[in-house]
Amino acid sequence: MPNIDEVKKRLTDKFKGDITNIDQPVNNRLFVDIKKDKVKEISNEVIAMGGRYLVSVGYDRLAEEGVLGLIHTFSLDKDSIMMALRTSTPENEPIESITPDIPNAGWSEREYMDLLGMKFKNHPKPKRLIVADDWPADVYPLRKDVPWNLMPPPAENVAYELDKCPEGCTVVPVGPYHPTLHEPAHFSVFVDGETIKGADYRGFMTHRGIEKLCQTQLTYNEIPFVAERICGICGSVHATSYSQAVEQAAGLKISRRAEYIRTIMLEIERVHSHLLWLGIAGHLIGFDTVFMQSWRVREPIMWLGERLTGNRKTYGMIVVGGVRRDITPELKEDILNVINKIEEELLVVKNAVIGDTAIHKRTKGVGRITKEETIKWSLVGPVARARGVDIDARRDNPYAAYDEMKFDVPVFDDCDVWATVLVRIIETFEAIKIIRQCLDKMPNDGPVLTEYLDPLAPGKHGLTCVEAPRGEVVHYLITGKENSPERWRVRAPTYPNLQGVPLMLLNDQFADLPIIIGSIDPCFSCTDRVDVINIKSGEVQKMNRHELEEMSRKYKK
C-alpha cells in the first residue's frame, strides 16, 4: 500500500527526466506534469501501482501557448489518491494513444479527435464518436476560436460506418430509439441465431455541448444548475461533484453542516434512483409487479424531496460554497419518518421477489464478464461491485461527510446481472443507514453557505469524484478568467460502463439484451419497429409489431 510520497518517489525514480513538475495542492491529489513522449509508459506504471483509469481531459491552449493540453486521470483506490498526468502537444503533432493498454481510454481519445482535432498514434478505432455525422471535418467545436452557438449547414447522405459484421452472423439494429435505451443510442448487434457474437455502438445523439456552453456563457454559480440537468436521475451528484471541484481549485473549505446536508441529499437520491432502477429492471424482464411496487415505495421520497428543496427532482440544492436550504428540526423528523417507512416497505418487496425463480432464470449467469475484464475495462459502480471489484468512491476517496459515516460496500463474485440487482438492493438499505447517521451526527449550527471573498485565480486545477447511484462521477475543472471555468470535464458513470456493454453481451441470448443494457441503468423510450437486414442481398425490410408477432407465431409452430 504505497502512500502519496512513495507514489511520487516511484514515479520520479523511474521517469526522472520525463516528469517536469509535481503539484500536490491538497493531501490526496497529485497533478504530475509529464513529457508527451512518455505518456504511455507512465500511464502503464500508474496502472501497475494499482491505479484505475478514470477519464482524459483535453483542452485548448493554442491562443496562449500554442498547444493542446491533455490530462489522463487515475484513481489509486486502495490508497485514496487521485492523480492527473498532464501533458500537451502542438496542434499537428500526434500523441501516443494509451488505448491499446487501457481500453477504457478509447472514447476519451476519440472525443478529443472530434472536439479538439488532436491526433493519436496507434489508436485501435479512430472513428467519430461525439460530433454528428454531418459535422464538418475541419471544425473542432471545443477550440476557443469556434463560437459556442455555431450551426454549420447540414449535409446529405452521410452515415456512420458501423463495424463489419463477422462471417455467418446477422445484424440486428437496436435503436436509435428502443424501449430499453434511455436516450437515443444505436447498438448494432451481430447475432448468430439467438446468440450475440458482437456489437458496435453509435451514440452521442443527444450531445448538447454543455461543457462548451458553461465554459463560454455561464459563471461559476450558475453551472451547478446546468450540471444538475446532465442527468435527470442523479442530478445532485453532478452539482456536488462540480461544486467540490471549484472548491478544491479555489481552496475553499465549506462548513461541516453544509457537507452533511450534501450527504443527505446524495443518499436520498441514491434511494430513489435504486428503487427506480429496480422497477425498470423488473419491467425489462417482464415482471411488472416489481415495477409497480418499487415505484409505489419510491413515491414518498419524491414528495420528501419536494418538501426539502421545493422540487421533486432536480433539487437545485447545491451551489459552490455549500447548499441553498437548511434542514430544520421539523424536516429532520420528516426525513426520519419517510426513510423508516421506505425501509419497512422495501423489505417486504425484497422478501417477496428475492425468491422468485422467474427473476433468477432471467438474471443469473446473464451479462457475465470476469473480474479481470472488469478491472481492465475500468468499469465502475454496481456493475463493477457485482463482478467482485471492491471500489466505492464514498469509502475510497471520501468527500462531503462520508469520512464519518459507517457503511458496508456490498461486493459479489457472481459476475452477472443478478449480482447487480443484489448490490443495488443492499445499497438502498445502506443509504438509509447513512441518512440516519447523518441526521444523528449533523452539527446543529453553522452556516449552510460559505462565501468566497477573494477573486478566483485562473489556471487552478480541481479533480473530484462522487459515487452516483450508477457508479462514479468524475469532474475535472480548470479555473479561468471572468468568473467562469476555462475547462470543465464531466465523466458520468455510463461513459465507462457503456464501453463494457459489448463485452457483457458477448455469447448471451438476444432476449437478454434489454436486461444487460438495462443493468447499467437505463430509462426507456418507445418504438415498435425493427429493421431486419439481409446481409447477402443488403435488402432492408421494415417490420411493424404486428408482422413480427405473426412471424414469431409462424416460426414457433
Partner 1 sequence: MWLISKIKQVLLVAKPGVVTLSYPFAPHPVPKDYRGQPYWDHHKCIGCGGCAAHCPARTIMIRDVCQELRVMMYDGSRCTYCGRCADVCPEDAITMTPLYEMATGDKNDLSETMELFMATCHRCGRCYDHETGNSIDKMRNIGYRYDSIEMRAVIPKTTEQLDLNVLKETENFKRPEKK
| Residue 460 Cβ vs partner 1, minimum distance, rounded to whole Å | 13
First CA to last CA distance, the chain: 62
* Chain contacts with partner 1 (rule: CB under 8 A): 149-151, 153-154, 217-223, 225-226, 229, 246, 250, 289, 292-293, 296, 299, 303, 306-307, 309-311, 314, 316, 320-321, 324-325, 348-349, 351-357, 451-456, 482-484
By C-beta, is 138 or 482 nearer to partner 1?
482
By C-beta, is 3 or 483 nearer to partner 1?
483
403: Cβ contacts below 8 Å, ≥ 6 apart: none
By C-beta, is 484 or 499 nearer to partner 1?
484
| Residue 237 Cβ vs partner 1, minimum distance, rounded to whole Å | 17
| Residue 440 Cβ vs partner 1, minimum distance, rounded to whole Å | 24
| Residue 95 Cβ vs partner 1, minimum distance, rounded to whole Å | 33
Dihedral sign of CA atoms 423, 492, 494, 343 in order: positive
- If you ran DSSP here, which 8-state letter would residue 482 be given? T
| Residue 202 Cβ vs partner 1, minimum distance, rounded to whole Å | 22
By C-beta, is 223 or 400 nearer to partner 1?
223
| Residue 264 Cβ vs partner 1, minimum distance, rounded to whole Å | 16
Residue 458 · residue 390 · CB < 8 Å: no
* Neighbour tally for 552: CB within 10 Å: 9
SS3 103: coil
DSSP string, 232-283: SSSHHHHHHHHHHHHHHHHTPPPPHHHHHHHHHHHHHHHHHHHHHHHHHHHH
By C-beta, is 292 or 551 nearer to partner 1?
292
| Residue 306 Cβ vs partner 1, minimum distance, rounded to whole Å | 5
| Residue 245 Cβ vs partner 1, minimum distance, rounded to whole Å | 13
Residue 465 · residue 163 · CB < 8 Å: no
By C-beta, is 160 or 303 nearer to partner 1?
303
By C-beta, is 325 or 364 nearer to partner 1?
325
170: Cβ contacts below 8 Å, ≥ 6 apart: 190, 191, 192, 533, 535
Return d(Cα 373, Cα 116) in angstroms, integer: 30
By C-beta, is 333 or 549 nearer to partner 1?
333
